[in-house]
Structure 1
Amino acid sequence: MDLFADLPAPTNNTNSGKDEDSVQDRGEKRHRDTDSDDEQNKTEKKVCKGLAKLKGFVAARRGEREDMQDAHVILPNLHTHTNTLPTHVSRLAYFAVFDGHGGARASQFAAEHLHHTLLNKFPKGEVENLEKLVRKCLLDTFRHTDEEFLKKASSQKPVWKDGSTATCMLVVDDDLYVANLGDSRAVLCRVEPTEDGEERCVCVALSKEHNPTIYEERMRIQRAGGTVRDGRVLGVLEVSRSIGDGQYKRCGVISTPDLRRCTLSPKDKFVILACDGLFKVFSADEAVQFINKILQDESVEMKEGQTVEEAHYEAACQKLATEAVRRGCADNVTVILISIDF
């Protein structure tokens, strides 16, 4: 079974809702009130179905670097920042990791601005083909964020040369949309039955990496007049897509993210979003199994106000980042662990 549904091509439909008609008489008004009640009942039923509860935990380690160039955002209730959601959308959540290079300014800019742009561009009112519009929204948001940062970077003296990867997970009700640039990753832990009737946790990739050694990425860079040496763009840049990196944009480095989508189910336990500092010393499956082992550990310290489950996830997130450093990762390490509970 294919986990990811291919997203349709972007649409140019800009209709944000239906115009209100004037009320002609009391009978029509009563009819409209009935329609309004029906819509409210539908909304209440939708909420009563119960969306997955998501909670984010973060751990960040500087490693052996002189400074921290990673940034992150955890907004499980992004929908509370807007009152213009599409009619049938009840929840937006947003989690993101940004791995900066050449400085922290691109990653900080993306962390501060990308979700605001996302909200501004998100579909509104009565819409059809929501998936197409969400996909278009994400593509436009990444492009706009990159353009705005490059505009700011080029106006500085000396010009900023910072760049950043971006792995963002937007949750629309129970649909996950992962937009990724560069070599940070998103992975999902899903429980599946085995042949002997037991259950096992499997690791499902939610993102695709972009580096210049990949054939399609290398061909694009070479067509743009760039070169790939020692696995890097012009022998310097490790990633082939990023926010910022203005000096490499003419060499085929782009800010178009890879987009993937899946729908959450009760079989899903958690998602890991992390920069490449983690995955230099952990495989995705090792990271998932490491988290699962700690979640099953009964000897966990609880902070005031935490539930037992929250304490386990907090401990798992912190220990995973610490273990990455212990295994010899010299890079910054940022891990976001998102628990999923139906």
Structure 2
Amino acid sequence: MDLFDDLPEPTQTSVAPPAQDEEDRRFKRRRDDEEEEEEEEDEIKKVCREGLPRLRGYAAARRGEREEMQDAHVLMPDMSSCLSSLPGHVSRVSYFAVFDGHGGARASRFAAENLHLNLAKKFPSGDAENLDKLLKKCLLDTFRQTDEDFLKKASSQKPAWKDGSTATCILVVDDTVYSANLGDSRAVLCRTEAAADGQRKSVTLALSKEHNPTIYEERMRIQRAGGTVRFILLACDGLFKVFSADEAVKFVLSVLQQETSVEQKDELTEEELRFEAACQQLASEAVRRGCADNVTVILVSVCH
């Protein structure tokens, strides 16, 4: 005889869930809340990215009459791959640099290979307060560290290396430009402003401490004047031996504004092709003008 034959049929009654089931539900709610927060944060970053100007770098290098090319350069429109994390709501970090070697190419190559890596190690992370101040200190510490590292390596060689190098770089954090340099290579910025006659004119700005668009007062003055950046030019002194900063900017503008058609290349827009042509032609023109030094030019387009 079955022991359960005389038992009534089970009825639908509500039974309190085990404690584990309740805990599972709490965990699911927490997980859903976290996913919603992550989606919201991603949306914020996406909005920030879409509102930023697009940067693209172009480079040209000529040996001139020197026996070897002692210049080096780095183009990193997106430096995020080198950084462990980005601070706060920063969504884009870019880095461009020119190094003019002298006494050999080892110092310039060392700087090109290591300066941005040292920068990445020292870069602020997390919800960093006073990010502007921290970034300026980061650049100073990075230059010092790279210099010390090279001197240590150079002095350990037999015979010791006597190479040296300039260093000029720009670091773009979202829509803020930081410029740092040692030596006689330069960084200049071209922007357009509204003239009295209603037309727009180009203005050449040296990225120096006194006239740096990362300074709040200068940035506000540019905006009040209706100004916009068009591009940034970095070059070693080989270019500026035969070009003034203003002449170099006007030369680039003349190429960009030419109405002649440009040869199409895969995955490049007509505007990108014109910037590439302007960069190459500027370096070639420096050699044509009689510059016997190495010439390296970087042109960074800023598309709003």
- TM (normalized to structure 1)? 0.73
Deviation for aligned residue 1:311: 1.2
Mind listing any 5+ residue stretches in structure 2 that lack a counterpart?
1-25
C-alpha deviations, 1:144-197, integer Å up to 9, x for none? 100000000000011001000000111101111111101000011100011111
Compared with structure 1, are the counterparts of its residues 300 and 186 closer, same or farther at alpha carbon in structure 2 (3 Å cutoff)? farther
Q: Percent identity?
A: 60
CA radius of gyration, larger in: 2
Aligned residue type for 1:152: K
Given that 1:179 and 1:260 are in contact with CA atoms closer than 8 Å, whether structure 2 keeps it comes out as no
CA distance in 2 between counterparts of 1:271 and 1:281 reads 19
**Partner of 2:299 in structure 1?**
337
CA distance in 1 between counterparts of 2:287 and 2:129 reads 47
Compared with structure 1, are the counterparts of its residues 105 and 71 closer, same or farther at alpha carbon in structure 2 (3 Å cutoff)? same
**Partner of 2:112 in structure 1?**
111
Which structure features the higher share of helix residues? 2
CA distance in 1 between counterparts of 2:255 and 2:47 reads 37
CA distance in 2 between counterparts of 1:282 and 1:44 reads 41
Secondary structure of residue in 2 paired with 1:261:
coil
**Partner of 1:39 in structure 2?**
41
Deviation for aligned residue 1:87: 2.3
- Written as runs of structure 1 = structure 2, the 5 A alignment for 1:63-74 is 63-74=64-75
Secondary structure of residue in 2 paired with 1:127:
coil
Given that 1:180 and 1:207 are in contact with CA atoms closer than 8 Å, whether structure 2 keeps it comes out as no
Given that 2:193 and 2:202 are in contact with CA atoms closer than 8 Å, whether structure 1 keeps it comes out as yes
Deviates more, 1:67-76 or 1:293-302: 293-302
Question: Which one of the candidate residues 240, 258, 263 is aligned to 1:302?
Answer: 263
Question: Given the alignment of the two structures, is residue 191 of structure 1 paired with residue 192 of structure 2, yes or no?
Answer: yes
CA distance in 2 between counterparts of 1:161 and 1:85 reads 37
C-alpha deviations, 1:221-266, integer Å up to 9, x for none? xxxxxxxxxxxxxxxxxxxxxxxxxxxxxxxxxxxxxx98356977
C-alpha deviations, 1:73-129, integer Å up to 9, x for none? 001011133341112110011100000011110000000011111111101111111
Deviation for aligned residue 1:47: 2.6
Given that 1:277 and 1:333 are in contact with CA atoms closer than 8 Å, whether structure 2 keeps it comes out as yes
Aligned residue type for 2:231: F
- Written as runs of structure 1 = structure 2, the 5 A alignment for 1:127-166 is 127-166=128-167
Secondary structure of residue in 2 paired with 1:150:
helix
Aligned residue type for 1:201: S
**Partner of 2:93 in structure 1?**
92
CA distance in 1 between counterparts of 2:213 and 2:180 reads 7
CA distance in 1 between counterparts of 2:301 and 2:213 reads 19
Given that 2:49 and 2:92 are in contact with CA atoms closer than 8 Å, whether structure 1 keeps it comes out as no
- Written as runs of structure 1 = structure 2, the 5 A alignment for 1:1-342 is 35-48=37-50, 50-207=51-208, 261=214, 267-305=228-266, 306-342=268-304
Deviation for aligned residue 1:307: 1.4
CA distance in 2 between counterparts of 1:288 and 1:54 reads 18
Secondary structure of residue in 1 paired with 2:214:
strand
Aligned residue type for 2:81: T
CA distance in 2 between counterparts of 1:328 and 1:71 reads 21
Given that 1:185 and 1:274 are in contact with CA atoms closer than 8 Å, whether structure 2 keeps it comes out as yes
Given that 1:54 and 1:338 are in contact with CA atoms closer than 8 Å, whether structure 2 keeps it comes out as yes
Aligned residue type for 2:260: S
Secondary structure of residue in 1 paired with 2:242:
coil
CA distance in 1 between counterparts of 2:41 and 2:156 reads 50
Aligned residue type for 1:261: T
Compared with structure 1, are the counterparts of its residues 319 and 30 closer, same or farther at alpha carbon in structure 2 (3 Å cutoff)? closer
CA distance in 1 between counterparts of 2:150 and 2:134 reads 24
